Amino acid sequence: DLAHPCHSDPPRWNRAGVIQPLDTSRLSNWNDLFPELINMSTINFDGNYWMAPVDWGDTSIVYNPDKVDWVKPGEESFSLLWDERMKGKFAIMDSAADSWYVYAIALGLDVKKMENITKADVDMVYEKAAGWRGNVKMFTTDTATMEQALMDEEVWAALCWNESSWNSGYPMMSPKEGTLTWSCGLVLHKDAPNLDLAYDLIDAAISAESSAYMLSEWGYGHSNKKGFDTISKEALAERGVAQDPITHLANGNFNNSPSDEVNDYIEQKWAEYTIGG
Domain 2-56+181-242 matching CATH 3.40.640.10: the answer reads no
Nearest C-alpha neighbor of 245 from the set 92, 33, 40: 33
pLDDT(112) > 90: yes
What is the average pLDDT across 195-214? 97
Cβ–Cβ < 8 Å for 204, 210 = yes
Q: So what's the pLDDT on residue 236?
A: 80
Q: Which backbone phi and psi does 133 adopt, to 5 degrees?
A: -55, -30
Q: 203 exposed, middle or buried (CB, 10 Å; 0-12, 13-18, 19+)?
A: middle
pLDDT(188) > 70: yes
The single-letter code of the amino acid at 254 is F
pLDDT(243) > 90: no
Q: For the whole model, what pTM was predicted?
A: 0.89
Q: So what's the pLDDT on residue 245?
A: 76
pLDDT(96) > 90: yes
**DSSP reduced 3-state for 65:** coil
Q: Which has the minimum average pLDDT: 70-74, 112-116, 241-245, 255-259? A: 241-245
Tell me the pLDDT of the chain averaged across its residues: 94
- Judge if 2-56+181-242 and 58-179+256-274 fold alike in CATH terms: yes
DSSP 90-128: EEEES-IIIIIHHHHHHTT--GGGGGG--HHHHHHHHHH
Q: What is the pLDDT of residues 18-56, one digit of tens each?
A: 999 999 999 999 999 999 999 999 999 999 999 999 999
Q: So what's the pLDDT on residue 147?
A: 97
3.40.190.10, 3.30.565.10, 3.90.650.10, 3.40.50.1970: which CATH number matches 58-179+256-274?
Answer: 3.40.190.10
What is the average pLDDT across 197-210? 98
277 — pLDDT class (breaks 50, 70, 90): low
Q: Name the residue ranges covered by the structural domains of the chain.
A: 2-56+181-242, 58-179+256-274
Q: So what's the pLDDT on residue 220?
A: 85
What is the average pLDDT across 195-215? 96
Task: Round to whole Å and give the CA distance between 188 and 1.
Answer: 6
